Amino acid sequence: MGFCPMVFALGRCKLNYGHTGIIGAMKTPSKGKKVNKAWLHDHINDPYVKLAHREGYRARAAYKLKEIDETFGLIKPGHLVVDLGCTPGAWSQYARRRMSPQGAAVGDLNGTIIGLDLLPMEPIEGVTFIQGDFREAEVLSQLELALAGRQADIVVSDMAPNLSGIASADAARIEYLIELAIEFAQNHMKPHGTLVAKVFHGGSYNDVVQRFKAAFELVKPFKPKASRDRSSETFMVGIGLKLPGGKG
Ligand SMILES: C[S@@+](CC[C@H](N)C(=O)[O-])C[C@H]1O[C@@H](n2cnc3c(N)ncnc32)[C@H](O)[C@@H]1O
């Protein structure tokens, strides 16, 4: 599956079609109650769900970023972290603790976190939140306003579009969000910064890898243990921006 030329020719624009509902559960359950029951059973028995509950994280997703961070040594006190697709807030919570003097969930924060999502988010102390569609130009402007001329050290994106079930359209949507995240990193991240973005195996995976390789010095796909085996998600870690006009 290649890029959807029309989507990319449009660039970032004012979109009217937007998303079509709650995004997050990527796969449309096909067997109704049976699937829901199985999902519920897995969820209740999931060690990461239990751990998240014990440690006060809003979602088990926190452990995906934790493992990525521990593997690549990304988030450090003093950093500016941009969290794209941040709701309900587990990644921002994790980043916040990483940049707190004692790993605290509240109180002093040595660093900056700016989160953005289509959906509302319960406030997290010290985290700036912008509600809006990352694909829209005016939402990007709000994010730029919050950056106030500063460059991010780390950009993380757990954004996932609503799937239609039409493979080519879904692949193009996934790829488009990733493309925008890469573009954002190129414009608003420090040269030695890192972009972590959720990607999916399937239709557009190879194109996404190529996009990352064109933009970053080092590209590492990574599947954290907390990412369920049955999920086709994986995370692309792009370290160090390639200079414009440089090789590659
Ligand atoms: C898997 S959830 C993120 C979970 C989050 N990382 C956490 O730790 O709590 C994906 C999020 O991406 C958001 N999202 C999807 N498309 C988006 C877009 N175009 N603009 C902004 N947010 C988007 C969804 O609303 C959803 O909240």
pLDDT at 68 (0 to 100): 98
Q: Provide the mean pLDDT of the chain.
A: 86
Q: What is the mean pLDDT of residues 222-235?
A: 91
Tokens of 73: 């040594």
pLDDT in tens, 104-155: 999 999 999 999 999 999 999 999 999 999 999 999 999 999 999 999 999 9
Active-site residues: which are they? 198
Cα–Cα distance for residue pair 22/199, rounded to 1 Å: 19
pLDDT in tens, 37-67: 877 777 778 899 999 999 999 999 999 999 9
Q: CB pairs under 8 A, 24+ apart, for 171-174?
A: 171/1, 171/202, 171/203, 171/204, 172/1, 172/3, 172/4, 172/7, 172/204, 174/199, 174/200, 174/203, 174/204, 174/208
Q: What is the mean pLDDT of residues 11-25?
A: 35
What is the distance of C-alpha 187 from the center of its chain?
Answer: 17
Distance from the alpha carbon of residue 133 to the mean position of ligand 1, in angstroms: 10
83: number of Cβ within 10 Å: 33
Provide the CATH number for the domain formed by 61-241 in this structure: 3.40.50.150
- The structure's pTM equals 0.86
Q: 87: Cβ below 6 Å to ligand 1?
A: yes
pLDDT at 30 (0 to 100): 52
pLDDT for residue 7 is more than 50: no
- φ, ψ of residue 75 to 5 degrees: the values are -85, 130
Q: 90: Cβ below 6 Å to ligand 1?
A: yes
Please, which pLDDT band fits residue 201 given cuts at 50, 70 and 90? confident
Cα–Cα distance for residue pair 126/7, rounded to 1 Å: 36
pLDDT at 69 (0 to 100): 98
Q: Which of 63, 83, 86 to mutate to test the pocket of ligand 1 (most atoms within 8 A of CB)?
A: 86
Report helix, strand or coil for 81: strand
- HSE toward the beta carbon, residue 166, CA cutoff 13 A: 5
Identify whether the C-beta of residue 119 lies closer than 8 Å to the C-beta of residue 96: no
Q: 217: Cβ below 6 Å to ligand 1?
A: no
Percent of residues, the chain, with pLDDT higher than 70: 84
